[in-house]
Amino acid sequence: MLFRSLVAISLGAVLVVGQQSCPGYRASNVQQTSNGLTADLTLAGSACNIYGTDLPNLTLTVEYQTANRLHVLIEDRNKTVYQVPNDIFSRPSSSNGASSSNSVLRFTYTESPFSFAVARSDGEALFNTSGSPLVFESQYLNLRTSLPTNPNLYGLGEHSDSFRLNTTNYTRTFWNRDAYSIPSGTNLYGTHPTYIDHRGENGTHAVILLNSNGIEVKINDTAGQYLEYNTLGGVFDFYFLAGPTPVETSNQIAQVVGTPANIPYSGLGFHQCRYGYRDVYEVAGVVLNYSQAGIPLETMWTDIDYMYSRWIFTVDPDRFPMPKMRELVSHLHAHQQKYTVMVDPATAYQPNASYGAFQAGVQQDIFLKTSNGSLYQGVVWPGPTVFPDWFNPNTQAYWNQQFNSFFSADTGIDIDFLWIDMNEAANFCNWPCSNPAQYAADNKFPPAPPPVRNSSPIALPGFPPDFQPQNTSSKVKRQAPSSGTMKGLPGRNLVSPPYQIQNAAGSLSNKTINTDLIHYNGLTEYDTHNLYGTMMSNHSTNAMMSRRPEQRTMVITRSTFLGAGKYVGHWLGDNISDWPHYRISIAQMLAFSSIFQIPMVGSDVCGFGGNTTEQLCARWMTLGAFYPFYRNHNELGSISQEAYRWASVAAASRYAIDIRYRMLDYFYTAFYEQTVDGTPSLNPLFYIYPNDSNTFAVDLQYFFGKAVLLSPVTEENSTSVDVYLPNDIFYDWNNGFSPVRGNGAATTLHNISYEQIPIHIRGGTILPLRVNSSNTTTELRKQGFHLLVAQGLDGTASGTLYIDDGLSLTQPSQTYISFSWDGQRLSMNGTYGYAAGVSISRISILGASSQPQTITYNGNALSSQYNSSTRVVTILAQIPLTGNASLTISGPAAYTGTARASKSPNLVVLASSSVLVALAYVMGIW
């Protein structure tokens, strides 16, 4: 039910800003609805107009949408103030029968001055605005909630700060920008005003603010702990999610922002790129060198080097001629490999040239314009540029046409995946950029290309003849539905609003598109700036799908907004080749995967900017093998850092990719499950151990899926690492799966070579691994499965396996299997629609104490192998993935540990509809 506070809270009844105070609002005309309430909010005193004009009349809408989700919307009564368009962010709807009576959340309010609170039904306060009045002005909104002392807060991205947020004098700015070197403490490429508040045994909840205007969130502990929203416009559109576990909270975030898009199986392979490949011959040489080094390369990428003068949808006819580009792609495809290139939004302004992308855009009128009707120009890599208006209904058809032509399988570059960049949108020219042509000329945009080579300087075995030698004789960094219109209030200062957020680029329009531009539909860039990159993502995904409508695609973007994961993955931008960026990549990745629901995420391995070192690159290649998106990428002017350049890095790469590929179906399953309901495919430690307070601040260890604990070495010149092992049983991958008992304490792992990464398998899990790795994911899918059963402290274990064709958008058939082990029976149950063509050919039981006495099935004796050093029982088998199967136990008891009250016998028999296999098992002693 709904409650109204009987006592008006006077504390913080006015907000003092300088010499001015704000009165807040008074609630009236409260109407109960079937699933919430509505109310009018009227200014409760004289307007303060501190950073704009106070709006006198607002409305409040409270909606219990599910048992765990509460929607609170505070908007202007006339619905004139801008709101994120529904076609850009589709709002979740209420479940049938949802109401306050069946919700675990409770909404309460105070009439005057108006404030509200959200609490659990047990009284745990989650959000309470009573400490200060609501401010709702034409260009400034303010709302503050109190928090518990020393809260555990996560999210509020994109940033490169610690995973658990600082809660003292901390400011998080949301204004998407080109952020070379991804510095800490500043706004970066994306806007995700979502935070998780984890309170251990008191549960976990999340708060989402749907607002695309410039925002500052301030967190401080002066006069009590609080979190404060300051926005440059829009409305207060909140979703409160009750959890109560971290994983359930992430599930509920996905219900609001959308579940992530699934990707092709091959997208999880290893990728190589750099900015600065000289020509197509150098790209071909890289492909060859990976092959000769025995390092699997799934996808070769090319940065903007391939373009003519950095014009999108062109190739450099001298360095990357189309015929040779097509031969390169054909070579890759013939070897089961893929190819990807970059496309930016900025289109070269070339009114006097025969440049199809520009001329078609002008003809279809899809570029942004100034107030006088001329094309708006900035400066990006091609020099003077224009920018697509993604709100224009013609833009999608234009984008499709460019993709279908330039990336044609018959006449163009037949790419497999897509990379989009600079879509914040970036603009090199300082505001107000009065003369783009002069700025471009002064700063040498486009940059001069390298000298032309008529042929490859070295032999490239396996490539066509025209890739072979013939008998003839300035680095630039990446910069750094309603009755109202909801188009935005008139009369606002769209360039320099009264309230200044801490945008690291300076003014709102600096280094980006001018914020006073008006889009095709009447919306301002001031209001929609943070949507630009995600709208390009949506259009680009659609354009890729128009090429191959029956296949999944994979698009990797730089700029994101709430819900971007429904369309794209994200690389973490232009990082630096140093140890701090190596370390922070883990926290960044966890935020995007587990909170923001963009699970296809990773950092540039070995670093983008500056020169990497052999040791750093070796460590980073092993860490990157456990990013979802695994790509080595660096910039023009830096030393080459392909994985084969150093012997130790090559060895580390072969080691790490071998493990990644054997685990690929395990992770592909976890990724698929996230696309279904938002269950994270990467997990911070506190997601798995939510009541262990020692895990709350850990951001240098994480779980790949739910079972594989990564604890990378994070210090230069070190061969040891301090790790935290919760009170549980683990198994050491690098030591033959020998058991390691965690005691809820820190421990130091020693003698970790530069070519390895510490990996532990969490007890209680079952991992479907491939028996062997392969050079490509196509060959990997021909390998049988190795079922790894890691017993938990209670003698149980479980896991899942999802298999499909790895490519089709709509799967004609799927296999999804649940494995469970209870100490007496191993069950394999599921649906078996997809013909995998392989079987489970090996099963390992971890933690066994001795060799089984006998293994029989229907009187047939079978043998097993036992390693007394690692306590692993291994059985070779042939179990088809075509139907349910179960394991049963017989034989004398052997378990003498203390984890189970009853004893477990040591004989396991598998009964399958088509194969008879026996499995030995003895419980381990810890």
The residues assigned a catalytic role are 421, 424, 574
Supply 256's token pair: 């609001």
CA distances from 156 to 138, 259, 595, 723, 791 (A): 24, 19, 9, 26, 37
Is the separation of the CB atoms in 644 and 654 below 8 Å? no
- Closest by CA position to 556, among listed 681, 418, 414: 418
Answer yes or no: are the C-beta atoms of 464 and 454 closer than 8 Å.
no
Residue tagged 């929609």 (tokens): 528
Listed residue (765, 774, 662) closest to 708, CA to CA: 765
Burial 595-607 (b: 16+ CB within 10 A, else e): bbbbbbbbbbbbb
- What 3-state DSSP class applies to 849? coil
Q: How far apart are CA 136 and CA 76, in angstroms?
A: 9
- The amino acid occupying position 366 is I
Give the count of beta carbons closer than 10 Å to the beta carbon of residue 86. 11
User: Tokens 């302004």 correspond to what residue?
Assistant: 349
Q: What are the DSSP calls for 626-687, one per residue?
A: TSSSEEE---TTSPP--TTSSHHHHHHHHHHHHHHHHTHHHHHHHHHHHHHH---SEE-HHH
Strand segments, DSSP code E, in 526-629 are 555-557, 569-571, 601-602, 604-605
Structure token digits, residue 314: 């062109």
Q: How far apart are CA 602 and CA 273, in angstroms?
A: 14
Whole-angstrom distance, CA of residue 448 vs CA of residue 165: 43
Q: For residue 306, give the DSSP letter.
A: G
- DSSP letters, 373-411, are SSBP-EEETTEEEE-B-TTSTTHHHHHHHHHHHHT-TTT
Total Cβ atoms within 10 A of residue 315: 23
Q: Amino acid identity, residue 260?
A: P
Q: How far apart are CA 76 and CA 60, in angstroms?
A: 9
Question: Bridge partners of 709?
Answer: 703, 760
Q: Which two tokens stand for residue 870?
A: 């690692």
Closest CA to 661 of 547, 772, 818: 772
| Phi, psi for residue 492 in degrees, rounded to 5 | -90, 155
- Token duo for residue 648: 């130790």
* Cβ atoms within 10 Å of 877's Cβ, excluding its own: 20
Altogether, the residues listed in the chain come to a count of 926
345 alpha carbon, distance to own chain's centre: 21
Name residue, tokens 């002064």.
Answer: 442
**Residue 852 token pair:** 């089984």
Q: What gap in Å lies between CA 418 and CA 588, rounded to an integer? A: 22
Q: Which tokens belong to 675?
A: 């696309």
**What order of strands is seen across the sheet that includes strand 885-889?**
865-867, 872-880, 839-846, 785-790, 765-770, 797-803, 815-821, 825-832, 885-889, 907-912, 916-920
Tokens 């587990």, residue located: 594
Which residues lie across from 61 on neighbouring strands? 38, 73
Phi-psi region of 889 (alpha: psi -120 to 50; beta: other; left: phi over 0): beta
